[in-house]
Amino acid sequence: MNIKNIEGLSGDQIRSMVAQGGKFVMYKYCISIIVMTFNNASDIHFIHPGKSRVTPGLGHLFTNLFLGWWGIPWGPVYTIGNITTILRGGKDYTAEILATFNQNDPTYGTGTSYNIPGQNNGDNSYNTSGANNQSAGTYNIPQ
C-alpha cells in the first residue's frame, strides 16, 4: 500500500505535521457487477494540517455513487457505509502508520541527548558529576 502526499518530506517533518494536526487516512470504494461486489481500499493519503480530509476522497465517493449500488445484496450495503466514511473524512490510521514509521526510521529518537553520567553525549566530553570523576548516581532523563 502506498502513502500519498509525503514525497520529499523527512521523518521529522512528517512527525511535526502530525503534531500540528496532519492525518493519515484511507478511503474505501466498491464496484459491483450484478451478483459480485468488490469492496476495495484506497492508498493511504497524508492530509497536511489545515487541509480537508474529505477532498482527497471525492473520487472514491463518485466511484461508489456510480458503480457501487448494482450488486445484490452487498452493493448497497457497502456503498452506504463507504460514502458515510468518506464524508466523515476517511478512516484515520495516523497512530498505526506513525508507530510503524517511527519503528522503522533509524533517525527517530536520536536527537535527544540523555544526561547519563559516564556516557559520551556527542560533544567529545563525558558528563560525569562529583569530584574525582565519580558518578553521583542520578540520571537526568527527560519525561
Tens of pLDDT along 2-16?
Answer: 999 999 998 889 999
Split at pLDDT 50, 70, 90, the class of 1 is: confident
Split at pLDDT 50, 70, 90, the class of 124 is: very low
Split at pLDDT 50, 70, 90, the class of 138 is: low
Q: Are 68 and 78 in contact (CB under 8 A)?
A: yes
Q: What is the pLDDT of residues 48-95, one digit of tens each?
A: 999 999 999 999 999 999 999 999 899 999 999 999 999 999 999 999
Query: What are the domain boundaries of the chain?
Result: 3-104
Residue 5: CB atoms within 10 Å: 16
Which 3 state secondary structure label does DSSP give 99? helix
Amino acid in position 130: G
* Alpha-carbon distances of 92 from 4, 50, 102, rounded to whole Å: 14, 15, 17
* Alpha-carbon distances of 97 from 44, 82, 140, rounded to whole Å: 9, 21, 31
The closest alpha carbon to 115, from 86, 89, 139, belongs to 139
